[in-house]
Chain A
Amino acid sequence: MKAGFFERYGSLLALILLFSIGAVWQRDFFLSPENLRNLLNQNAYIGIMAIGMTLVITVGAIDLSVGSLMALAAAVGLTVVNRQMGSGAGETQAVAVGALTALGLGTLLGVINGLLVTVGRIAPFIATLGGLVGYRSLTLVSAEGGEIRSASNTILPRVAKGGLPFPSLPDGSPLFTWATVLFLLTAFAVAFLLNRTRLGRHVVAVGANERAARYSAIATSRVKLASFAILGFLCGVAAFLQLARMNSVSTSGLGQLNELDAIAAVVIGGTSLAGGKGRVWGTVNGVLILGIINTLLVASGVSNYWQGLVKGVIILLAVLIQRGSNDR
C-alpha cells in the first residue's frame, strides 16, 4: 500500500540521498575506493551488533549491554590469545582459541541477559542496564582499566586487512574486508532467519503480542532467550573483529556508547521499538547512514562536538517520517 512505502523504503531512500550528497559535496574524497572500503570496514562491527539488536527489538525487548558485552568478550578473547602465545602455542592456534573464546563468551553473556529477562522476569531495559555497567566493570578489572596489547603480530593484522581478492584497490588491498563480508553475511543470515524460518515467525509473533503468542502454544521464553543468545553471539563476532582491527583492546574505550548507535541504526531502519516488526536490511541502511554522516562531518572539518547533534536530528527525523506513514 501507499502508506507503507516510507516505512519500507524510507531508510533506503535516505541512504541514497545521503550518499548522493556525499558524492557531490566531497566528490574526490567520498567516492574514492579507500573511503568506500573504510566506510564498510569501520562500521561492520557496529552493523553486526545492530543486526542482532534488530532481532531483540523485534521480539519486544531491548539490550543496553551490547557495548560492554562486546568489550568484555574482546578483552577476554585477546587475553586468551596472549596467554596461549605466552605458553608456547603457535600464533594461528592462539588466535583461533581467542576467537572461539570471544564467540563463546559473547553467547554465554547473551544467554545470561536472556535468562534474567525470561526466568528472572526482569524488564529487559533494567536487566541489560545491569549488564551495561556490570560487564564494563569486569572489562576494566581485566586490565586494571588500561589497554591490552596483542602479542599476535602477523595473524591478527592479516585478519583485519584481508578480504575478498576481488574487487581490489590500486594498492592491491581488498575493497571488501573480512569484516565487511561478515557484516553482509550476517545481514543475509538474520534476514533469512527473521523472514523465512519458524523461529523468525515466532520472534515477530512474540513481539507483536506476547500473550497471544503464548495462547498459540509458542514457547515465548525460549524465543526471547534465543534472540538474546544470537545477539550475544554476534557481539562476540564484533568483539573478535574489533580486537583484530585495533590489535589491542582499550578496556575503558572499546564499545562505549555502541548500544546507542546500534539502537539508533535499528530505529532509523524502520524496526518498531514496540516490537513485532523487524527490518534487517533497514538496519543495514541505518548503520551506513550513521557511518556516512560521520565520514562527511569529519571530511568537511566539522567539529567532533557537533556530530552528536546531527545524529540526534537524523534519528528524530527517521522516527517522525515512519510515524507519519504508520498512523494513517
Chain B
Amino acid sequence: MLEVRHIARQFPAVRALDGVSLSFEPGRVHGLIGENGAGKSTLMKILSGIETPDEGEILLDGKPMVFRNPGEAMAQGVVMIHQELNLIEPLTVAENIFLGREPLKGPGIDRARQSAAAADALKKVQAEFSPEDLVSSLSLANKQLVEIAKAISHEAKVLIMDEPTAVLSDKEIRSLFALIRDLRSQGIAVIYISHILKEVLEVCDDISVLRDGKHVASIAAGDADAAKLASLMVGRELGDVYPAKSALPDVAPLLNVADLQVPNLVEGISFSLRPGEILGLAGLIGAGRTETAEAIMGLRPCTGKVQVDGKPVSAKGPKEAVEAGIAYVSEDRKALGLHLTLSTTENATLANLAHYANPVVDRAQEKAAVEGWVQKLGIRVGDVDAPVGSLSGGNQQKVSLAKWLDTKPKSLILDEPTRGVDVGAKREIYQLVNGLAAEGMACLLISSEMTELIGLCHRIIVMRQGRIAGELSGTEMTEENIMRLAAGVGA
C-alpha cells in the first residue's frame, strides 16, 4: 500500500500542496480529480520522484521512502505514465521497454532475451504487435500499451496514469478500461487522473478530490455522481454556467471593420460592433479568426479600414491600436499573451506602462493597480512579484486579462479566453466578460467552444476560409447552424 502523509510543497507564487494525506490500496483503482492548479500534478510528480516534497512523508507498505528521481521511484515499483508518452520513436518496442536496463550478454545486448521478456510483458497487456516493431509505426493507443507493458516489466506495484484517455478513441478507451480492471485484479494499485468525470466514475473504485492544494474529500465511486464531484472540485454548487445576457443598447457602433484583407488568410471581412455587445467569431481552425484579430490590432500587414468611434485607426502597429482603445487577449497565453519569467506585477502593467512610468516607474502606484486587479478578477496569487509562469492556467489567463483591461480599452478582443482553463475559472471569466459588456465594452469573442459562443454572445459571425460564411443571432444560434456554416455544408 502506498501512503502519503501531510505532504506539502511550496512554489514561489503558490502553495501547490498543503498537508495532503492519502492512501492507495493494492487491487483498487483510485481516481484523483481537481481543477487545474488543485495540486494533482504536483502530487503525482512527488510520488514518481520528479519533485521532492518540502514536508510530509511517503510510505510504501509501511516503510518511509524518499524518491530523489524517477529511477528511485521505479525501483520501488511506483511508475508513472505521463500524458505525453515518453518513448523513443525510432527504437523498437523491446528496446523501449528495456531502455537503460538492457539484458547483457558479454559486452553486447542480449537481444533474444530482451525480445522474449518484452513479449511476455506485451502479452500481459494483450498487445497485438511484436516486440520488434518500431514504436514510430504504432498507433497512439498501442504506444500507450508499450508504456504500460514497460511499467509491468518494472514489476509495478503502483501505476499512475495521467489523463490516459485524452488521445484515445471510444473503442480504445473501452479496451484500456478492461486492461485497468485486469491490472487491478493482479493486485496493482492504479492511480487514475482525469478531467473527464464520467470516465472516472466508470473505472475507479475510490475517488479523491483536491482543491487549492488540499485534500477535500475521498468517496467511493458508487456513492458519487458527476454533479457532486464537480461541486466538490470547485467548492460550491455550480449553478448556471453562463450569466444572463444583458440587453443591447440601441446606440451607434463603436468598432467598424470594413473590407479587411490579409494576403492569403483573410479576404474581405466587414462587421461592426456596438458598445455593450458581445459578438462571437466562430469557425474551424484555419478559418482566419485569429488573423482577423491580429490584423485589427496592427500585428499583421493588412488592407482595409478599422474605425473606433468613427475615427480611423492606422494599422501601423499594436501601439496605435491600443491608443485607439482596442485590446487583444491572445489565444497563446504562454508564448504571446504573457511573459512567463516576469512577475504578475510586471505583466499586468506592461501594456499600459506609460501610465505608471514617465519615464521612472512609480512602483507604489503600480502595486496598487495590480492589487486592484487581483481583487477584482479574483486572481489567486501568493506573491505578485513571483514569475507569472508559476500560476495555474486560469490565473495566468486572468493576469493576461488584467494586462489588457488596465489599458482601459473601449473594445476588447478575446481569443479563446477559456482554453486550458478549469471549470471554476471559466465561469468567472464568463461573468467578467458579461459584466464588462454590461458596462459598455464592445467585445469580440473568438472561440472554438460553440456552447460558450451561444451562451455568451448577442450575435455570432461564422468564418470559413478567410471569409464571412454567415451571421447568426437569437434562436438561430445553435451548434448545428454554426457547424453548417463553418464547414460549408448544406445551406
Chain A residues with a Cβ under 8 A of chain B:
1, 192, 196-199, 201-202, 204-205, 208-209, 211-219, 276-277
Q: A198-B353, A216-B350, A216-B403 are in contact. Are A208 and B341 (CB under 8 A)?
A: yes
CB distance from A12 to the nearest CB of B (A): 21
Q: Are B322 and A199 in contact (CB under 8 A)?
A: no
A212, B338: Cβ atoms closer than 8 Å: yes
Are B335 and A211 neighbours in the complex by a CB distance under 8 Å?
A: yes
With A198-B361, A212-B336, A219-B317 known, 6 other A-B pairs at CB within 8 A are A197-B359, A198-B360, A199-B359, A209-B340, A212-B337, A216-B403
Q: A211-B336, A215-B330, A219-B317 are in contact. Are A196 and B360 (CB under 8 A)?
A: yes
Q: Is the CB of A217 within 8 A of B337?
A: no
Q: Which of B317, B318, B336, B359 contacts A198 (CB 8 A)?
A: B359
A201–B335 Cα distance when bound, in Å, is: 18
Q: Which of B319, B356, B357 contacts A217 (CB 8 A)?
A: B319
Which of B319, B335, B350, B358 contacts A205, CB < 8 Å? B350
Which of A196, A199, A208 makes the CB contact (< 8 A) with B342? A208
Interface presence of B192 (CB below 8 A): no
Q: Are A277 and B341 in contact (CB under 8 A)?
A: yes
Contact A197 B360 (CB under 8 A): yes
Enumerate chain A residues within 8 angstroms of B341, measured Cβ to Cβ.
208-209, 276-277
Please measure, in the bound complex, the distance between the C-alpha atom of A197 and the C-alpha atom of B353, giving whole angstroms. 9
Given A1-B12, A217-B351, A219-B317, is A205 in contact with B359 using a C-beta cutoff of 8 Å?
no
* B340 neighbours in A (Cβ, 8 Å): 208-209
Q: How far is the CB of B393 from chain A (nearest CB, A)?
A: 16
**How close is A203's CB to chain B, nearest CB, in angstroms?**
12
Question: Within 8 Å CB of A217, what residues of B?
Answer: 317-319, 321-322, 351, 407
CA distance A316 to B12 in the complex (A): 28
Taking the closest CB of chain A, its distance from the CB of B227, in whole angstroms, is 39
Residue pairs across A and B with Cβ atoms less than 8 A apart, 11 shown, are A198-B361, A208-B339, A208-B340, A208-B341, A208-B342, A209-B340, A211-B335, A215-B318, A217-B317, A217-B351, A276-B342
Chain A residue with the shortest CB-CB distance to B326: A217
A198 to B361, CA, bound (A): 6
* Across-interface contacts of B353 in A (CB, < 8 A): 198, 201-202
Contact at A214–B359, with CB atoms within 8 Å?
no
Across the interface, do A198 and B299 meet the contact criterion of CB distance under 8 Å? no
When the two chains form their complex, are residues B354 and A209 in contact, meaning their CB atoms are under 8 A apart? no
Q: Is the CB of A201 within 8 A of B318?
A: no
Are B359 and A215 touching (Cβ within 8 A)? no
Question: Which residues of B have CB within 8 Å of A209?
Answer: 335, 339-341
Tell me the count of chain B residues lying within 8 A, CB to CB, of chain A. Answer: 31
- Identify which of B299, B328, B330, B350 contacts A218 (C-beta below 8 A): B350
B window 341-367: CB within 8 A of A: 341-342, 346, 350-351, 353-354, 356-361, 363
Q: Residue of B at shortest CB range from A215? A: B336
- CB contacts (< 8 Å) of B354 on chain A: these are 198
A277 to B363, CA, bound (A): 19
- Bound-state Cα–Cα, A37 to B351, Å: 45
- A213 contacts B339, CB within 8 Å? yes
B residues near A214, Cβ cutoff 8 Å: 299, 318
Q: How far is the CA of A202 from the CA of B318 in the complex (A)?
A: 15
Q: Which residue of B lies closest to A218 (CB)?
A: B350
A289 CA / B281 CA spacing, docked (Å): 58
* Min CB–CB distance B245 → chain A (angstroms): 29
Would you give the shortest CB distance from B142 to chain A, in whole angstroms?
34
* Closest-CB distance, A167 to chain B (whole angstroms): 32
Docked complex Cα distance between A52 and B137 (Å) = 53
Whether the Cβ atoms of A201 and B346 lie closer than 8 Å is yes
With a cutoff of 8 Å between Cβ atoms, the chain A residues found around residue B357 in the complex are 197-198, 201
With A and B bound together, what is the CA distance between A77 and B350 in angstroms? Answer: 40
Q: Which of B12, B317, B403 has the most CB of A within 10 A?
A: B317
Residue of B nearest to A4 (CB): B12
Name A219's closest neighbour in chain B (CB-CB).
Answer: B319
Min Cβ gap B270→A in Å is 24
Distance between A291 CB and nearest chain B CB, rounded to angstroms: 31
Given contacts A1-B12, A215-B328, contact A204 B403 (CB under 8 A): no
CB distance from B356 to the nearest CB of A (A): 8
B222: min CB distance to chain A, Å: 43
Residue of B with least CB distance to A211: B336
Q: How close is A280's CB to chain B, nearest CB, in angstroms?
A: 16
Q: Which residues of A contact B330 (CB under 8 A)?
A: 215
| CA gap between A197 and B354 in the complex, in Å | 10
Contact check, B339 vs A205: say whether CB atoms are below 8 A apart.
yes
Interface residues of B in 29-84 (CB under 8 A from A): none
Contacts of B328 in A (CB 8 A): 215
